[in-house]
Chains A and B, each alone.
Chain A
């Protein structure tokens, strides 16, 4: 009984998100059709890939004539973050390898955020929310693909500008200034803990604005390469900018233990 109610809590927590995810899936269906992906492929992609930003990126690069390899590499790179996100929830998933495999597919940015309880994860919230989001995403995609039949020339409707607007909307929440974070991306714990006793000056600035630096650098790399490389390549090359996350200075002695201590406090 209490188990069932926890799953239900996940469903309830995800319902407001579902209201947003259905139209989001619809926009993927419409844009994928305008990129020439046909009717069935976008739906199958939503059912199997189940990761918005990567799906939009693949459709966008394909629609811009960027080629197959570029579309695939960019989409896969965007999903690499699910490696660490999957690691962060690995401890709470139950069952044998097959059960864990299936449960892991329900982990997306939003279900991960819903199930995050101060750095710990509630398995039933995670799976309940994941199931709602999965159904909404699939339903939205089907509706969008069908609606795409009714629409005319995508450029006349300004749909080519809809792609970058969407990517911007996905990017902005990730630029939020925060003290530090340990896992994943997306709308994680919003209470960014400012490093009160940390160093000030450029070092501290870089620590709290890493995502902004990565974004500006990524955009700059891509813009420069547009002039000299085939479409698609600039996006992939921009991934090099993520290395700013690796050379984040760790001057504050014991910064990591402090951070972890804060997160695991209920």
Chain B
């Protein structure tokens, strides 16, 4: 029974996600620090071309919307309608009532949990 360091790591850490988590922490951390510093350190006062800036501005809305859609409707490689849809609708109502972010998140979780109980 060969037992590599990887297996030991997994056994010690309680699963692969923890190792993956550290890789994410490292790579995303370094990339974010570099991105944040790039403007002030390297480019000084220069500006990006308007079209590039225009596209970069829309990265966040596009990705966030994709995260919402996939988070609610995807289950592996299938699209499903389940309790999460109720949670999202509850979040929409909370947002319309201008609830704080934490309340919006809590309302979605509670609504989903209640539907699962029923």
Partner-B contacts on A (CB < 8 A): 20, 23-24, 27, 32, 35-38, 41-42, 44-45, 48-51, 53-55, 57-58, 60, 62-65, 68, 71-72, 74-91, 93, 97, 100-101, 103-105, 107, 155-172, 174-175, 181-185, 210-212, 214-223, 226-231, 234-235, 238-248, 250, 256
Number of interface residues of B (CB under 8 A): 83
Q: Which of B40, B64, B100, B105 contacts A171 (CB 8 A)?
A: B64
Partner-A contacts on B (CB < 8 A): 13-15, 17-18, 20-25, 27-29, 31-33, 35-41, 43-48, 50-74, 76-79, 83-84, 86-88, 90-92, 95, 100-102, 104-114, 116
11 intermolecular pairs with C-beta atoms under 8 Å apart: A45-B28, A64-B71, A84-B48, A155-B116, A160-B71, A161-B71, A161-B112, A164-B87, A174-B64, A226-B73, A245-B54
Q: A158-B112, A165-B90 are in contact. List 16 more A-B contacts (CB 8 A).
A: A44-B25, A63-B17, A68-B20, A68-B24, A75-B24, A75-B28, A77-B59, A79-B32, A87-B47, A101-B41, A162-B106, A164-B71, A164-B108, A168-B92, A211-B58, A241-B62
Tell whether, in the assembled complex, residue A164 and residue B83 are in contact, meaning their CB atoms are under 8 Å apart: no
Q: Which of A103, A227, A245 contacts B40 (CB 8 A)?
A: A103
User: How many Å from the CB of B56 to the closest CB on chain A?
Assistant: 5
Q: Which of A42, A163, A211 contacts B67 (CB 8 A)?
A: A163
Instruction: Identify whether the interface residues of A are mostly helix, strand, loop, or mixed.
Output: helix
Tell whether, in the assembled complex, residue B54 and residue A169 are in contact, meaning their CB atoms are under 8 Å apart: no
Tell whether, in the assembled complex, residue B62 and residue A218 are in contact, meaning their CB atoms are under 8 Å apart: yes
User: How many Å from the CB of B62 to the closest CB on chain A?
Assistant: 3
**Chain B residues whose C-beta falls within 8 Å of the C-beta of A45 in the assembled complex:** 21, 24-25, 28-29
Tell whether, in the assembled complex, residue A49 and residue B17 are in contact, meaning their CB atoms are under 8 Å apart: no
**Chain A residues whose C-beta falls within 8 Å of the C-beta of B39 in the assembled complex:** 83-90, 104
Q: Which of B15, B68, B77, B78 contacts A164 (CB 8 A)?
A: B68
